[in-house]
Structure 1
């Protein structure tokens, strides 16, 4: 039996076969220490899915920045993370429970390049092909997502 994290063939109406997207999700307490656990979980899953180290490195940096923002800039008790590999695309989405800025996180226009903070969303905008912010499903928090190319060693 296949693990719930494996791609499974799907037969569509025309009889041709497509591959179901790979997906995983988890929730962690909104604590600074959870950022490292989020990185570990994402890397573990991506490696299990055969994602190359270059793609894993970019994903690790993205999830670190998105998770850190959710922990530091909201009043959340937990933060959720979802990841998908769909074909040659990787999508990461980090959702908080709200209580932060009403419009969600925004990149800072004037970033202190020597400072310890303020570069996260700027870094996300450089690494990701696309990224954005939407209200979460309950409209209390924010879901920040980023997509990037994904190379896998297995199909």
Structure 2
């Protein structure tokens, strides 16, 4: 999927938008925060009754996006926003720093240990993209992960 820059930014109203489940949080821009973000996402999605496949996919997407924000920007913190709307789970990861380039899919060699994260994000999501954050200093990388709600 080719990333799009024109995705809407959801507005917050407590922990719910009318008709939508949502959560927002941030952690320090540290490697240890990646695991904390995965745990937070899993707990919230299970609370909302999201199916296990989507929970697993969302954890991988958050892990990749958080890792990129920690490694490739000079952010002090990294934010995450989750929003369920219909059959889509929107995941947004925001950095507050500057990176020399925009996130993009790249081709990694077979012997390289990194560089495949956005390929994975693209494979697990219906769409993904990048947009400037609201402050204009950082960026938001978002992904729409399909889900089902458990009965």
1:129 aligned partner: 126
Give the length in aligned residue pairs: 138
**2:113 corresponds to which residue?**
116
Superposed displacement of residue 114, structure 1:
3.6
- Cα separation, 2, equivalents of 1:60 and 1:114: 25
Q: Distance in 1 between matches of 2:51 and 2:111?
A: 31
Q: Please report the TM-score for the alignment, with normalisation by the length of structure 2.
A: 0.86
Please give the alpha-carbon distance, in whole angstroms, between the structure 1 residues aligned to 2:92 and 2:113. 24
5+ long unaligned stretches in structure 2? 1-13
Q: Secondary structure at the match of 1:144?
A: strand
Q: Which residue does the alignment assign to 1:60?
A: 59
1:95: how far off?
A: 0.2
2:30 pairs with 1:31: yes
Runs of 4+ in 1 over 4 A off after TM superposition: 4-7
Q: Secondary structure of the equivalent of 2:122? A: helix
Choose which of 138, 141, 150 in structure 1 pairs with 2:138.
141
Asked if the contact 1:6–1:49 (Cα under 8 Å) also holds between the matched residues in 2, the reply is no
Higher radius of gyration, 1 or 2: 1
The correspondence for 2:149, drawn from 135, 148, 152, is 152
* Greater relative CO, 1 or 2 (CA 8 Å, sep 6+): 2
Q: CA deviation at 1:88?
A: 0.9
Q: TM-score w.r.t. structure 1 length?
A: 0.84
Aligned Cα RMSD in Å?
1.5
**What SS does the corresponding residue of 2:150 show, helix, strand or coil?**
coil
Deviation at 1:141, TM superposition (A): 0.5
* Map of 2:103 onto structure 1: 105
**SS of match in other structure, 2:103:** coil
Structure 1 unaligned segments of length 5 or more: list them. Answer: 11-19
